[in-house]
Amino acid sequence: MTLRTLIADDEPLAQRRLVIALNKLDDIDLVGTADDG
């Protein structure tokens, strides 16, 4: 299963919170991030 999510630029801590949440789940890995600038 693949989960893809887009984080808006106006929330600078959203990526960090997502990483913390995903680390609490088994068998879930963050494989990369991207930005438009």
Residues 13, 16, 18, 23, Cα dihedral to 10°:
-160
- Intervals of the chain under pLDDT 70: 1, 7-12, 34-37
How far apart are alpha carbons 24 and 9 in whole angstroms? 24
pTM of the entire structure?
A: 0.46
Q: What is the pLDDT of residue 1?
A: 67
Q: What is the pLDDT of residue 10?
A: 63
